[in-house]
Homo-oligomer: A and B are copies of this chain.
Amino acid sequence: MYEKKIKEVILDIQSGKLDTEHAVQALKDLPFQDLGYANIDHHREIRTGYPEVIYCEGKSTEHIVGIVKAMLEKDVNILATRVSEEVYEATKDLHDDIIYNKQARILIFRKEAFKVSEHKVLIATGGTSDIAVAEEAALTAEVLGTQVVRLYDVGVAGIHRLLSRREILDDCSVIIAVAGMEGALASVIGGLVDVPVIAVPTSVGYGSHFNGLASLLAMLNSCASGISVVNIDNGFGAGYNASSIIRQIERG
C-alpha cells in the first residue's frame, strides 16, 4: 500500500495537481511500511524531524529484529530504547555500525556522523543511582544532534556541590534534572536559572517512594516555575524533548 500511495502523490505532482507546498504536506502524512505486526513510519523524519524510535520493552525479539531489518533496508537512522542484552545479541550482526550502550540500554545505528548543536543541554542527576536514566537522556539527545554536558551526583543533601557549579548551569540552553528520592533537584535548579527545565523522576528509592511516584509528584508540584516533567525513568523522553527545544533555538 505504501509504494502505491507514494506513486499517486508523484503522479499528482507531475500532473500539476499538487504544487510544491501541498506535495510536502502529502508526503508528511502518508507513508509507512506494513510488516503485519508493525507499521514502520519511515517518513516520520519528514513530518516531525526525527526518525521513528523503537521502544523495545514488551516486544518479542523476533519482532524487533524484523523492524530493525526493515529500517536498515530503508537506510534510515535507528534509535532503539530499553534494549536488553538478549535483543542486542540478536541484532548486532545485522550491520557493523550498530552500537549498544548497556547502562542506558540504547541501541544506535547511524548512517553518518552526528551533527553537534551549538547550544547545549545540561543533564544533572541527584545521585549516582540516577545515572542510567541520565545516560538514556544523554545518548538520545546526542543521537538527535544535540550537544550534552553532564553534571552527576549534585543532589540537594549537599547543595554546595550544585551551587559551586553555577557557571555550568548558566552556560546552557536547556537543563534536564534527573532525580529519585524526593526529587528536589529540579526545584532548586529551577529557582537558579532562566532556561527551560525538564524534570525526570527516577524509580530510585524504596518504601513510600512507590517506584518513582514520590519523585514524580514532587516534580509536578515544584514551587519553581518553568519546570515540566516526563514519565518516571523516561530518560529518552527528556532527551528527545530537550533536543526539540534546541532545534527550535538553532532554527531561530
Contact = CB atoms under 8 A, between A and B. Distances in A.
A145 to B, nearest CB: 13
B226 A41 contact: no
A contact residues, range: 35 or more
Number of copies: 8
A95 to B, nearest CB: 21
A59 B129 contact: yes
A225 B212 CA distance: 19
Contacts of A111: none
A206 B231 contact: yes
Interface of A: 1, 5, 25, 29-30, 32, 36-39, 41, 44, 47-50, 52-53, 55, 57-60, 63, 67, 82, 103, 119, 126-129, 131, 152-161, 163-164, 166, 173-174, 180-184, 187-188, 190-196, 198, 201, 203-234, 236-238, 240-241, 244-245, 247-249, 251-252
7 contacts: A32-B160, A48-B192, A58-B204, A156-B187, A207-B212, A208-B221, A214-B218
A208 B225 contact: no
A174 B196 CA distance: 12
Contact of A182 (B48, B196, B218): B218
